[in-house]
Amino acid sequence: MNEAPDAQVPDRPPPPRAYRWAVLVVISLAMFGNYYVYDTISPIADLLKSQLGFSDSNIGMLNAIYSLPNIIMVLIGGIIIDRIGVRRATMIFGILCFAGAAITAMTGKLAIMATGRLVFGLGAESLIVAVTTALARWFKGKELSFAFGVNLTIARLGSYLALRSPTWAKAAFENWQLPLLISVAVGTLCIIGPLIYWVMEKRAVKRYAMGQAGETDKISFSELFGMGRSYWLVVLLCVTFYSAIFPFQTFAIKFFQEAHGATREYGGDLSAMITLFAMICTPLFGYLVDRVGKRSLFMMCGSLILVPVYLMMAYTDVHLRVPMAMMGIAFSLVPAVMWPSVAYIVDEKRLGTAFGLMTMIQNIGLAGFNLMIGWANDFSGASAANPGGYSLGMWIFSVSGFLGFFFAYLLRRAETGPNAHGLETITVTRSK
């Protein structure tokens, strides 16, 4: 974890448990700001349409273009993290996040807003990779899944507040720009968190015996794409699962308004339910998995829960809180297990690269699905006058959810076979 190999001193004690958790909270502040800025588009989708004349394809593009640079950038970012260390990487990527949020809020011109989202995307996913890599190094062999869960809870608090901003910042929603200016203020945490983390890690290097250095050997592409069957099944689960969640949230509030007659405030509350469930349940699931193992089985169960929710919203009169609660449980369970599992499959020196490659492929899916759903809504004429136009998009999400379950099933088979990595068997007791 330290920046230079010679900084490791075996005679020193390991970092105290309280210090590790303080590091987690501090570095998670950057994730909080990151998630808030990302989720500011959905609550203003109807304002972008009514005040700026944007189509659903335009709105989908604002989130799709966030993902496009990450098709390459997060892989490069993962290698950069392995090379220069977490503290330098988080600072660089955090500055890009803040700059992107500021550019997006400058003007209502689509090209400028798209540029801002692109710059934000350049930093945001790589920042997540850097934070994930840091947590893997501070907590591997300890409460890793629980630590990831707490990190995601703090991060998703940012999403929750952004999605519920039509309620707590109702006055700002008279105009499309004011909510984005609020996101710029919150985005300063993307710089503040890494700055405090920098200080804490440097202090830890001097006082405690730290993990392996950030520097790695040169990485060849044959090694890059030869990380094993289980790793690639986790990656495929990642891209299909998240493609059924985040692109839905891009249009969720508008969907609830136009297909179910909800107000913007109620639509925001419904969309935020996913995040609220995840904030509460993700660390609980992480704590459970640390103690019982069965990681791929948990991923199967979480993926299966997601499959029916979209068709329930499209074709039944069941209260919307039911499918949203189901989605929230799935969104709590799968990420709580999926990301920490990579640390058991891939060598520590390749973690930044492994997380980067995984996030790269995830962003291919997110970019494609945001564009696809925007196109599907426009193609089907989805609107308040034609709520049935949203059904095509709901079917696309359902298929993606089923594919996630299928890949989780294949992972379960692989991890109960002779070449398993311990995803089903490794358990962790409470550490000091």
- Is the pLDDT confidence value at 212 over 60? no
pLDDT at residue 389, rounded to an integer: 93
Instruction: Classify the phi-psi angles of 427: left when phi > 0, otherwise alpha if psi is within -120 to 50, otherwise beta.
Output: beta
DSSP state, residue 316: -
pLDDT at residue 225, rounded to an integer: 60
The CATH H-level (homologous superfamily) assignment of domain 14-415 is MFS general substrate transporter like domains (1.20.1250.20)
Write the DSSP string, 74-141.
HHHHHHHHHHH-HHHHHHHHHHHHHHHHHHHTT-S-HHHHHHHHHHHHHHHHHHHHHHHHHHHHHHTT
pLDDT at residue 226, rounded to an integer: 62
- Is the pLDDT confidence value at 259 over 60? yes
Q: What is the mean pLDDT of residues 16-28?
A: 88
pLDDT at residue 3, rounded to an integer: 42
Write down the residue that tokens 């002779």 correspond to.
Answer: 418
Of 93-102, 185-194, 334-343, which range is least confident?
334-343
Q: Which has more confidence, 221 or 143?
A: 143
Q: Is the pTM of this model over 0.75?
A: no
- Is the pLDDT confidence value at 356 over 60? yes
pLDDT at residue 256, rounded to an integer: 93
Q: What is the mean pLDDT of residues 340-369?
A: 80
According to the 3-state scheme, what is the secondary structure of 168-223? Answer: HCHHHHHCCHHHHHHHHHHHCHHHHHHHHHHHHHHHHHHHCCCCCCCCCCCCCHHH
- Is the pLDDT confidence value at 284 over 80? yes
* Nearest-angstrom CA–CA distance, 325 and 272: 10
Tokens standing for residue 310:
């979209």
Rg (CA), the chain: 21
- Is the pLDDT confidence value at 238 over 90? yes
Are 32 and 155 within 8 A, CB to CB?
Answer: yes
Q: How many residues does the chain have?
A: 432
The two most distant CA atoms of the chain are separated, in Å, by 71
- Is the pLDDT confidence value at 142 over 90? no
pLDDT digits (tens, 9 = 90+) for 155-190: 989 988 998 898 898 899 999 999 999 999 999 999
What's the pLDDT band for 79 if we cut at 50, 70, 90? Answer: confident
Domain boundaries, the chain: 14-415
Q: What percent of the chain has pLDDT over 70?
A: 90
What's the pLDDT band for 209 if we cut at 50, 70, 90? Answer: low
- Is the pLDDT confidence value at 364 over 60? yes
Of 18-27, 175-184, 311-320, 350-359, which range is least confident?
350-359
Are 333 and 405 within 8 A, CB to CB?
Answer: no
Q: What is the mean pLDDT of residues 201-213?
A: 70
Q: What is the mean pLDDT of residues 206-220?
A: 53
Of 8-17, 157-166, 226-235, which range is least confident?
8-17
pLDDT at residue 140, rounded to an integer: 67
